[in-house]
Amino acid sequence: MTDADLPADAVRTGVWATLGDARTTLALERAGFDWVGVDAQHGHFDDAALRGLFALRHEAAAPVLVRVAANDPTAIGRALDAGADGVIIPLVQDAEQAEAAVAAAHYPPRGARSWGPLPGSRDTTGGAASMPRPRCAVMVETARAVAAVEDIAATPDLDMVFVGPFDLSLALGRDVDDLLADTAADAPLPVIVRACRAAGVLPGAFAGSPERAAALRAQGFSWIAVTTDSGVLHLGSAAARAGLTPPT
Ligand code: 3PY
Ligand code: MG
């Protein structure tokens, strides 16, 4: 089944890779998550780590989207050249910046991505048309972006609006859990979900914990990064230890 066969609000449980380690990330991809976010903004994935990750990925089990360091055509092109199925662009503020992100992810005529022969690829002749369509998500995580979210979501060829609740709560001067629980019609998260539905793009978000993932799900988000690679280690360690811990 492809994502295109799923209803737009079907929950897609993701994991966020921060450690910069290719084998851990690929193990998570195969562990049953619906998608993997690879963090090149705050995580330990530099260019070499991204190339090492995709060089080791011989079979795709789930879409792997790279959160690039900035809304920069070079960073976006290099992540896609390395083999990412899509990109997540942080701190997009308005429709103009969203359009720049989408344009950087797509070859002409839609966009302005540059083609170059990829290391190890047999295609040295410029076959951009045969490359898979990349997914493009833009992050809404500032007050200015929330104010512009209807226009951002309406960007042609955008696939997802992805909320960074931690930056958004910092920007709004609010407690993150208070923000996640706020279901007032004019509260930021309901406004964002409605804008996504109106534009036909996926509403996604970073959660960081199963509890926060449940709060985001209740708000109507469908692509949710439930935890990180190190979060999986902590959760798994607690579950493993629990077997030998006497009940209190
Ligand atoms: C945020 O919550 O701001 C994020 O970007 C999560 O990675
Ligand atoms: Mg952020």
235 in a domain, yes or no?
no
Domain assignment present for 27 = yes
Whole-number pLDDT of residue 1 = 41
**Is residue 146 situated within a structural domain?**
yes
- Written as one string, the DSSP assignment of the chain is --GGGS-TT--EEEEEE-S--HHHHHHHHHTT-SEEEEESSSSS--HHHHHHHHHH--S-SS-EEEE-SSS-HHHHHHHHHHT-SEEEES---SHHHHHHHHHHHS-TTT--PPP-PPTT-S--S--GGGSPPPEEEEEE-SHHHHHTHHHHHTSTT--EEEE-HHHHHHHHT--HHHHHH---TTSHHHHHHHHHHHHT-EEEEE-SSHHHHHHHHHHT--EEEEEEHHHHHHHHHHHHHHTTSPP-
Q: Residue 243: which pLDDT band, with cuts at 50, 70 and 90? A: confident
pLDDT single digits (tens) 126-138: 777 778 899 999 9
> Residues 48, 50, 54, CA angle at the centre, nearest 5°?
120
In which element (H, E) is residue 152 found?
Answer: helix 149-153
CA dihedral 35, 39, 43, 46 (to 10 degrees): 120
Residue 8 scores a pLDDT above 70: no
Nearest ligand by distance to the CA of 208: 1
Domains of the chain: total: 1
User: Is 240 a member of any domain?
Assistant: no
- Closest ligand 1 atom to 42 CA: 7
CATH code of residue 104: 3.20.20.60
Domain that holds residue 86: 12-113+132-229
In a domain? residue 211: yes
Q: Predicted confidence band at 244 (pLDDT cuts at 50, 70, 90)?
A: confident
Catalytic residue, from 42, 44, 58, 234: name it: 42
What are the tens digits of pLDDT across the range 55-92? 999 999 999 999 999 999 999 999 999 999 999 999 99
Residue 248 domain-assigned (yes or no):
no
Asked if residue 127 belongs to a domain, the reply is no
Please say if 42 is a catalytic residue. Answer: yes
51: pLDDT confidence band, cut at 50, 70 and 90? very high
ipTM: 0.99
Q: Which pLDDT score is estimated for 117?
A: 81
Q: CA angle at residue 230 from 216 to 74, to 5 degrees?
A: 80
Q: Whose CA is nearest to atom 4 of ligand 1?
A: 164
Residue 143 lies in a domain: yes
pLDDT at 2 over 60: no
Between the CA of 47 and the centroid of ligand 1 the distance, in Å, is 20
Q: Ligand 1: list residues with CB < 6 Å.
A: 141, 164-167, 206
Ligand 1 centroid – CA 205 distance (Å): 8
Ligand 1 atom closest to the CA of 208, numbered from 1: 6
Which token pair is 234? 């902590």
Mean predicted confidence (pLDDT) in 149-177: 98
At 120 the pLDDT is 66
